[in-house]
Amino acid sequence: MVDVGGKAQTVRTAHAVAVVVLPPALASRLEGGDLATPKGSVFQAAILAGIMGAKRTADLIPLCHPLPLDDCKIEIEAGAAIAGESREVEIHCRARTTGRTGVEMEALTGATIAALTLYDMGKSVSHGIVIREIRLLEKTGGKKPYRAA
C-alpha cells in the first residue's frame, strides 16, 4: 500500500465511462429511458449496483485505499434507437471525495459494476451483450490531474 499520510487532503473527483453494446434483441426493448427485461428495470438496478460497487472498491481491489465518498453518480445514456441494429450504451460514473488520494478507482469500479449488472440482467434476452470499453475520462485534485484526449 502506498503511504499517503504526508499528502494534503483536497477535493478529488473522477469521471469514468463503460461502453456496452446491446444486440438487436435487447436494444429493441429500450423504451422511456430504460431497458425492460423479465428481471425488471435494468438501468435502475445498474445505477444502484454501480454506486454500491464504487463504495466497496477497497474491498475488491487489493491495496486500494478505502475512501469515504462525498458523492457518486451513475448516468446511463442509450444511443438513438434504429430498428434491428445494435445499440451502444454509455455508463458514466462520477465520484468525489475529500482525501489524500485519488478517487479514480472508485469511478472505474462504479462504471464496471453497473456494466456487469446490465449484462447480468440483459442475458435473459441475449448473451450477445459486449462490454467494449472501460476508461477514465478525467480526474481532478492531487498532483496529477488527468483529462482524456
Which residues are catalytically annotated? 120
Angstrom CA distances, 87 to 35, 105, 113, 130, 131, stand at 12, 27, 19, 10, 12
Please say whether the beta carbons of 134 and 111 come within 8 A: yes
Please say whether the beta carbons of 101 and 75 come within 8 A: no
Coil, strand or helix: which one is 118?
helix
DSSP string of 19-45?
A: EEEEPHHHHTTEETTEEEETTEEHHHH
